[in-house]
Amino acid sequence: MRIQPVVAAACRQRGAPNEITIENKTYATDSWTNTPPSILAAIPRRLHLQPNHPLSITRQLIESRFPTYETHNNLFPVVSVAQNFDSLGFPLDHVGRSKTDTYYINSSTVLRTHTSAHQADTFRADTSPGYLISADVYRRDAIDRSHYPVFHQMEGARTWDRNNLAQFSSLEDAIWADVHAIPKHSTDVIQVSDPNPTYDADRNPLQPGHSAAEIEAVAAHLKRSLEDMVVTIFTSARSATSASPDQQQEPLKVRWVEAYFPFTSPSWELEVFWQNDWLEVLGCGVVQHSILSSAGVPSKLGWAFGLGLERIAMLLYGIPDIRLFWSTDPRFLSQFNENEQIRRFTPFSKYPACIKDVSFWLPKETKEVDVKDPRSDSDVTPAGGLTSPSTPASSVSATTTSNAFHENDVMEIAREVCGDLIEDVRLVDEFTHPKTGKRSLCYRANYRSLERTLTNEETNELHERFTGLLVERLGVELR
Ligand code: PHE
């Protein structure tokens, strides 16, 4: 969907502080700074480490399938642009780098947008052949029941060293020996569809320096390891959802789909057939050799994957709204216990929604900028990340989008004003005046608390502040 831009959308706000302190570290702010205090407030929460929290239980369940992998669960969320993007081969004009998508602390520092930001450093530290990283990640994004500006990912990787083959005579022999050690599941338990060749010169190429035999072995290790992990998760999810868990179940159906990430090749996504739909569960691939060689381990080769913990926890427990993970309400938290079998979440009463529309004119300005369709997930990866090929979504480069209208700025203002009292914001109408050529948009905001009934006064006030800030910050004209 293409929408006209507006001047002055994402400029630094008046009265913004000259520095930001995050857990004893101080950063100078500049014209790139766009991280609001409400986002900074989420940093100390570390939900993936909170005992008996569903995200922590989900993390531990996955970790249990990788017993020999080293875990890194306390990595600091503020990283350099080099760590988050450059080290992974993101092109300079990749839309993920733009201020509309990423929280910048300053021009060279961001809140990590994915756990892959730590790949290069972890490969450089070289303390174990396999590792798992779980962490909070931050993205400016839509507001709805499955998107929240802070969420959690798990990254995993496994490498082998050409210079250290033990008793094996080739790298592929060494890898195949490890493949054979992965638990096997019969076709009564899991049915895997993998119709594509392991690599394809055009669509999913082998990297120079990798032999076909090596990559067949790496891909087999990657796929068998991740299939074993999804069997564990989905078996637990099914026994939590099914009325009579002991009855004979259909085998779990999964499929491998070709994918693209700047930092792996070949690359895949794993999809699972869940409640009558194919659900993307993770992204993965063979690590780009440039990352390993820049990290000082040029003799290594291996795979990496990334997944979104909220998405998995939501289906494991049947949690209907992503905001619930942030709830401190005992009616939520008391339902999870890491020492017990996973049981389906019982929603506590659903409080009434209050729906309000806001329509506004965009100033009649110049260049076109792309805006996400809030209902389309096409640019969201299974890990919730930002790794689609460079820029199909944007007609202007990342560094020039700062004065253009972007829907994420509407979302950000709604979050700033409403916090967790807003469930959903979506574009419901757009219109171009036939004579003046002016463009009008209508967004529908759904106000609802997960914990209580909002009063009319309260929602009116939230909506007024929301629309007031749209005018003030984005320069729109209310209709
Ligand atoms: N970082 C990717 C994302 O956020 C996921 C990924 C990790 C893909 C590692 C491949 C390898 O979507």
CB-based contact 205:163 (threshold 8 Å): no
Task: For residue 413, give every residue at least 6 positions away whose Cβ sits within 8 Å of its Cβ, in sequence order, or none.
Answer: 466, 469, 470, 473, 474
- Of all protein residues, whose CA lies closest to atom 3 belonging to ligand 1? 385
Looking at residue 238, its pLDDT comes to: 83
**CA atoms of 246 and 239, how far apart (whole Å):** 8
CB-based contact 150:39 (threshold 8 Å): yes
Tokens of 107: 């021009």
Q: Measured in angstroms, how far is the CA atom of residue 68 from the centroid of ligand 1?
A: 21
List C-alpha distances in Å: 436 to 362, 364, 403, 426, 433. 12, 9, 22, 25, 6
Percent of the chain at pLDDT > 70 equals 88
Model confidence at 109: pLDDT above 80: yes
What value, to the nearest 5°, has the Cα angle with vertex 411 and ends 281 and 382? 10
Tokens of 261: 């990430």
Looking at residue 243, its pLDDT comes to: 59
Report domain extents, the chain: 19-334, 350-366+405-478
Tokens of 192: 């895997």
CB of 284 closer than 6 angstroms to any ligand 1 atom: yes
Model confidence at 369: pLDDT above 70: no
Strand partners, 154: 134, 307
CB of 256 closer than 6 angstroms to any ligand 1 atom: no
CB of 383 closer than 6 angstroms to any ligand 1 atom: yes
Pairing of strands 150-161, 190-193: unpaired
Residue 379 binned pLDDT confidence (cut-offs 50, 70, 90)? very low
Q: Measured in angstroms, how far is the CA atom of residue 136 from the centroid of ligand 1?
A: 14
**CA atoms of 219 and 217, how far apart (whole Å):** 5
Please state the rounded mean pLDDT for residues 66-70: 97
AA letter at 257: V
Ligand 1 atom closest to 284 (CA):
10
Pairing of strands 130-138, 70-72: parallel
For residue 437, the tally of other CB atoms under 10 A from its CB is 9
| Common-topology check for domains 19-334 and 350-366+405-478 | no
Radius of gyration from C-alpha coordinates of the chain? 23
Residue 392 binned pLDDT confidence (cut-offs 50, 70, 90)? very low
What value, to the nearest 5°, has the Cα angle with vertex 281 and ends 279 and 282? 145
Looking at residue 382, its pLDDT comes to: 66
Residue 286 binned pLDDT confidence (cut-offs 50, 70, 90)? very high
CB of 116 closer than 6 angstroms to any ligand 1 atom: yes
Ligand 1 atom closest to 114 (CA):
4
Model confidence at 393: pLDDT above 50: no
Which of 132, 282, 381, 388 for a ligand 1 pocket mutation test, highest count of atoms within 8 Å of Cβ?
381
CB-based contact 359:478 (threshold 8 Å): yes
Residue of 229, 222, 317 whose CA lies nearest to 267: 222
What's the pLDDT tens digit per position in 421-466?
999 999 999 999 999 999 999 999 999 999 999 999 999 999 999 9
Q: Where are the beta strands (DSSP E) in 162-197?
A: 190-193
Supply the mean pLDDT for the chain. 89
What's the pLDDT tens digit per position in 29-56?
999 999 999 999 999 999 999 999 999 9
| CATH node for 19-334 | 3.30.930.10
Q: Measured in angstroms, how far is the CA atom of residue 240 from the centroid of ligand 1?
A: 28
CB of 305 closer than 6 angstroms to any ligand 1 atom: yes
Superfamily of domain 350-366+405-478: Ferrodoxin-fold anticodon-binding domain (3.30.70.380)
Tokens of 196: 């594509």
How large is the angle between the packed helices 54-63 and 212-241, nearest 10 degrees?
140
**CA atoms of 365 and 378, how far apart (whole Å):** 28
CB of 385 closer than 6 angstroms to any ligand 1 atom: yes
CB of 157 closer than 6 angstroms to any ligand 1 atom: no
Residue 385 binned pLDDT confidence (cut-offs 50, 70, 90)? low
AA letter at 110: V
Pairing of strands 25-28, 439-447: unpaired
CB of 259 closer than 6 angstroms to any ligand 1 atom: no
Looking at residue 245, its pLDDT comes to: 56
Residue carrying the six token digits 């491998």: 256
Tokens of 350: 């659903």
Q: Is 478 helix (H, G, I), strand (E, B) or coil?
A: strand
Tokens of 479: 């209709």
Looking at residue 210, its pLDDT comes to: 97
Q: Measured in angstroms, how far is the CA atom of residue 239 from the centroid of ligand 1?
A: 29
- Of all protein residues, whose CA lies closest to atom 12 belonging to ligand 1? 385
Pairing of strands 190-193, 252-261: parallel
For residue 456, the tally of other CB atoms under 10 A from its CB is 8
What count of residues does the chain have? 479
What value, to the nearest 5°, has the Cα angle with vertex 30 and ends 26 and 47? 50
* 92 alpha carbon, distance to own chain's centre: 20
Please say whether the dihedral angle defined by the alpha carbons of residues 219, 222, 228 and 229, taken in this order, is positive or negative. negative
Task: For residue 331, give every residue at least 6 positions away whose Cβ sits within 8 Å of its Cβ, in sequence order, or none.
Answer: 348
- Of all protein residues, whose CA lies closest to atom 10 belonging to ligand 1? 284
CB of 391 closer than 6 angstroms to any ligand 1 atom: no
What value, to the nearest 5°, has the Cα angle with vertex 250 and ends 246 and 253? 130
